[in-house]
A = this chain, B = another copy of it.
Amino acid sequence: MQEKGLLIVLSGPSGVGKGTVRKEIFSQPDTAFEYSISMTTRSPREGEVDGVDYFFKTRDEFEALIEQDKLLEYAEFVGNYYGTPVDYVRETLDQGKDVFLEIEVQGARQVREKFPDGLFIFLVPPSLSELKNRIVTRGTETEDVINNRMTVAKEEIEMMNLYDYVVENDQIERACDRIKAIVIAEHCRRERVEPRYIKMLEVD
């Protein structure tokens, strides 16, 4: 019998660098889990490719998928929808492969309800002021937008208690190493592997 893969959920406050960390992880050749591409109604940023970074959809298309119950999670964030197509996730887990989601905190909460055994990782900035710097550095936002994001970020950090692990994004490479270590460790958790060893004892 094929053991199911592990559902890995990376989330965290807006602006913390989830996307950058995710891209770094999947640029490394030894990464042994599959990336579930999110769907969004927001416009592509420079360099983003449809079907690689996101599946870009119109609001009408997105709402049709909500109606058909084809999304594992979805959230509206700063006026745009973000979501995870459910079929890819279930099929890949059934093949025994680990699936990696990089999603907003509202979505992570929905996934937790459906996959309580998932591995939930919260990415945090070294400090909130550092977070503010990153949002400002992006350079395209008004002060009102920035202040609104800071309030949202504080609320999101307070949501930390829904997660299994907290990873500080002090350096991208270090954050990636920690996330990969967490996945390795999770595969060694006694509750997950004990049944296999009990079987070994019976066979001998």
For A165, the chain B residues whose CB sits under 8 A away are 185, 188-190
Interface residue? A142 (CB, 8 A): no
Copies of this chain? 2
Interface residue? A1 (CB, 8 A): no
Chain B: minimal CB distance from A119 (Å): 10
Interface residue? A154 (CB, 8 A): yes
Report the bound CA distance from A200 to B129 in whole Å: 10
Interface residue? A6 (CB, 8 A): no
Report the bound CA distance from A122 to B192 in whole Å: 13
Chain B residue nearest to A201 (CB atoms) is B157
Chain B: minimal CB distance from A140 (Å): 23
**Nearest 7 Cβ contacts at the A-B interface:** A185-B185, A181-B184, A181-B181, A128-B204, A182-B185, A165-B188, A166-B193
